[in-house]
Every structure is written in structure tokens, then in C-alpha cells.
Structure 1
Amino acid sequence: MATKRKVNNLLALAVLSVIVQRPMHRYEIAATLRAHGKDRDMDIKWGSLYTVVQNMEKAGFLEVIGSERDGARPERVIYRITDAGRVEMADWTRELLAAPEPEHHRFTAGLSILAVLPPDEVIELLGMRIETLTQVIATTRAELDQVKGTLARLFVVESEYGLAMLEAEANWARSLRDELAAGTFEGLESWRQWHVDGMPPEQIPELGERSDD
């Protein structure tokens, strides 16, 4: 079970991961997060950065060490990580690496109600998804190869994982598409006939019931 944290927002962990390098103000934190591509690794909502930083200060993970002013711009408060922040960062990272949690995926949601569409349309839609994934995989692999030339592997393992997940999804979707196209998917003809006959939506749950005949 995930630990109930004082600031339970992955943006907080992202902030800790960059501010541990040196004290920063919020604008520098945001710029560094973008430069490190953290918005690709985590669901970062930039509009909540101010609130997250404030909450982290209240929780004792960050502390104010001063401020600076650049011309007519508003004064910028400078923060640094505390010892408690370092402990929180390490503990949170351990949890993320060791303890798998269910994560909601849009594709999973679509698959869960697959029956509402006729199989031939599903075949077409899966083909579109596979084509898009193939393009994304090629782009991601090229970007990863380029980055590997400038960064140690330690700092790109999350990109390797992302690429592996994309490839696994594409392979699985391709397998399902091919099974449907070949007519070997269990119950395919009944599924197709249900749509030909215009099955009422309220009968859709019955599709999941196996027949002993």
C-alpha cells in the first residue's frame, strides 16, 4: 500500500529531484524540470507548481533562504531542500520502484467496453493505433539514441522503460488485431451477429457470460 504523504503529488517529487542540485526559485525550478523532460515522465500540471512548492515548505521539505529581484520583475523567493526533503525524496523513490500500483490507462478503458463496437470496426481502429504507435516508437528510439550519446545510461532508464512499454503495447495490439482479422478470436461470429441484429445496449453485459453449450 502506498504511503500517505504530506504532499501527495508527483510534481513534488519532481521538484525535489531538481532542487536537490542547488537552491532555486520557482521559475528556475520549472525551467529545470522542462529541460530535464520531467513533464514526459510524470503528469505535471504546471499551474499547480506554486501551490505544491508552498505545501512542501509547510511540510518541512523545502525552506526559504532568501530572495532576488531582476529589474522590474516581482521578487523571487529562493528555496532549498531540507534534510527532511532528502529523506522524503529517497523514501518516495524507493516506493515507486518497489511497489507496483494499479494505474488507469485510457486504452484499458476502451478495451473494457470493446463489445459496443462491431469487430470489423475494432480491427480498423486497432490498425490505426498500431500505425500511430509505430511512428511514436521510431521517434522515441531515435531521440533515445541521440540522448544516449550525451548522457550516461543512468539518466535515461525511464526513457528505455517508456520505449519498452510502447513496443509491448504495439505488439499486443497487433496480436489482437491479427486474431480478429484471421477469425480465430473466441466468440467472434456471435459478436459480429449481435451488431447485425442490433442488440440493445442493456444486453451488452450478457456478452461476457460464457455458454456451456
Structure 2
Amino acid sequence: MPTTSPRLTPLAVMVLALLREDDMHPYEMVRVLKRRRDDRMVSITNGTLYHTVGRLHEQQLVVEVGVDREGNRPERTTYSLTEAGRGAVVDWVRTQLPQNTHPDRFRVALAEAHNLDRTEVISLLTQRRDALTADLDTHLAGLGSAADRGVPDQFLVEVDRQRHLIQTDLAWTENLLTRLADPAFAWGVTEDTPPDPLGLHS
């Protein structure tokens, strides 16, 4: 078992989360991730995926469970998630979900947030909402100060754009928190949840 928390890339987290669904070989991982359009969030190539799986194996987060060959194709090693790997996904999401400084990591954390229970997700997103609110206040104060000093708008377009992005993100986060607070909004994996919710292994 690893003695320290592993440092994971967003792609590594996506691989571990995928193996929570079923054992797979890297070729199938690439196919499923691309079919789900997860390459919108991170770059996915055969080379990076195989390298990532190799690193996860070294970190004892995944384990080899079989090797198969079809025709003249190269052997394909199937991997399964270890308990350490299962915990690593949850720990990473817990760390990244309340953050508002790394949009690429947040997108992956949000995509895998269903691995946490509803109450914890609400708490983590509430922390992020508060951070966004503070960030928005800082931007508004900066823009107000710049206006008082007569700074031309041409030097403020990037700051103004960021203000709009924060406001949009904040409104979206508030809406999601409202939806999560409603028991009718299904969350997490239950006995009624199919093992492949997007139907991509059929």
C-alpha cells in the first residue's frame, strides 16, 4: 500500500474513476473516454493513457488482473482498481471540488463528484461559492478603483472579462446547490443505478 497520498493528474483521476465501473485494458479506456467526450476536459492519446496507467500501477492504485490477445493484435493487459486507487479518487475530488483557481482540475472533480455523498458535495461546493464571492468582490473593488483613477477601459478588458466569468460561475454554482438540496435530484450510485449509466459498454 502507498504510504503517502499520490500526486495525480486529471487524466489519472479519470482513469481511476473509470475503473470504478469495471475492469478494463488501456485501449478500451481510451475508447470509452473519447466516446464520452471526456477529451473535452483533458488531452487523451494512446501514449499519455498508457503512460498514466503505468504510473498508476507503480503507485499500486491499479493492479493487473489478466492478459488477452485477439488474433494478431498485441496482448492487452486488463487492470482493476485497488482499494488505494478507490480512495485516491475520493481524496482528489475532495481536494479539488472547493477550489476556484484551477478550472481544468475543477471540471474533472465536478465530473467525478458523484463519487461523494450529497451532503459532502454540498459542503465542498459551498466553500467554492464563498471563494468565488470573495474573488468577485476583489474584482469589483479593483474595477471601481481603476475607474476612480481614470484608468482607460482598454487596460481593463481582461479584468472585466474575468468579472463576468466569475459572476456566471457563481450563479451556476448557486443553482447547482439549490438542485442538490432537493431530494428529488438523484445523486450518487444506488442499487437502481446501472453499472454503465451512459450505456457505452453495450
Provide the TM-score with structure 1 as the length reference.
Answer: 0.45
Greater RCO (CA < 8 Å, at least 6 residues apart) = 2
**Structure with the larger helix share:** 1
